[in-house]
Amino acid sequence: MVSSPILLDFQSSTPCLREVVEEMSSYWIENFANPSSKGNLSGLYASAALEVSRNKIQENLNLLNKKIIFTSGATESNNLALFGFARNFQQRTGRYGNIITLKTEHKAVLEPLRQLKKEGFSITELNPESDGLILEENLINALRDDTFLISIMLANNEIGVIQPIEKIFKICQKNNIKLHTDAAQCLGYIPIKNFDLLANMITLSSHKIYGPKGIGLLIIDEDIQLNPLVYGGGQEFGYRSGTIPLPLIVGFSKAIELANKNQLKNSIHLATLRDQLMNGLLKKNSEIIINGSIIDRLPHNLNLTVLDVNGSMFHKYIKHQIICSSGSACSNGNVSHVLQSIGRSFKEAESSVRLSIGLNTTAFEIEKSINVITETINNLRK
């Protein structure tokens, strides 16, 4: 009997939790009204449900002086933050200033910034250190008189490293620069005590935290001004027109509640399995190196390079037994820009793999994965 492959790709996406689906269910059929149709009773009910969800998110995330804007996901939130803020800055000041980011950001940050460069802004892409983390002094040295925005992710989607965002935010505040952070991979996995101390603009995504796909958040300071990307009926404070997807928002708010409530328990469980995987693989294979800091790291991420094997053969063999990622899910099969930015060669980046653990992953599956990877490496070396 052929057994189904082990799923270790939970940073690409997660399944919806049953409680999340149950919470959403009545909003698909019975309570389907448009929250903006406040002239009728069903619309009023939908509008109240929207506010309940918004308040629930605000409470769970402990947001004091922040506004939340619902988007379709982290890609849109990043685009809204970067295009919205930069274009508004240009209109307010008449200047095209400088924006700083990291070479290891997700494409949903790098590509909008490259587009802004074509519009006239200056973009600085900094290299992190070999452990994937940015050195504060490198950031300070890169600041220019015209730097008005910095975008640095909280945790990396490929190598899982967690940037010292609170320290970066202090540098920004001292220099009167606004900070955006893509925190799509973080909620429920690491403790975030105070969102007010993270950044002026924060991106979150629902499908990374066991919520529905197609919904995300951009959290902004009350005084942040953005040019919208989408114009129309003026929903979401005029920043994001279009009919509000209430079922998705109800589901996302439930997923946030559960992620928050279970963060400690879940992260201990995930880190225990991740360490089992890492230690098992390192014990059996001297030719494996771990990419990224192992200390400042998401609990469910492991990214490793197998030295001196053919990358495409390695992936070809393991893919029938383990579902995992050779880069980020969104990189369309390109060799990882993240791994190359932290010093891996093209060939090493090709023979690398991201293994990301889910809430239902078992110790048995981890043991089996260690064996599959070890046997594959041994066979390729024969």
Ligand X SMILES: Cc1ncc(COP(=O)(O)O)c(C=O)c1O
List interacting residues with ligand X (CB under 6 A): 73-75, 106, 108, 153, 157, 182, 184-185, 205, 216, 328-330
Could you give the CA distance from residue 118 to residue 95 in angstroms, rounded to a whole number?
Answer: 15
* Cβ closest to ligand X, residue 33 vs residue 255: 255
Convert 230-252 to b/e letters by CB count within 10 Å (16 or more is b).
eeeeebbeebbeeebbbbbbbbb
CB of 77 to ligand X, least distance (A): 8
Q: Output 156 or 200, the one with its CB closest to ligand X.
A: 156
**Rounded CA separation 81/90 (Å):** 14
For ligand X, give the closer residue by CB, 171 or 330: 330
Residue closer to ligand X by CB (options 154, 377) is: 154
Q: Measured between alpha carbons, how far is 170 from 327 in angstroms, rounded to an integer?
A: 32
Using CB atoms, what's the residue nearest to ligand X? 73
Distance of closest approach, residue 153 Cβ to ligand X, in angstroms? 6
Measured distance CA(40)–CA(19) in Å, rounded: 29
Minimal distance in Å, beta carbon 284 to ligand X? 30
Nearer to ligand X, 282 or 329 (CB): 329
Task: Read off φ and ψ for residue 228, nearest 5 degrees.
Answer: -65, 160
Region label for 188, one of left (φ > 0), alpha (ψ between -120 and 50) or beta (otherwise): left
330 is catalytic: yes
Nearest approach, Cβ of 180 to ligand X (angstroms)? 12
Nearest distance, CB of residue 54 and ligand X, angstroms: 19
Catalytic residues: 330
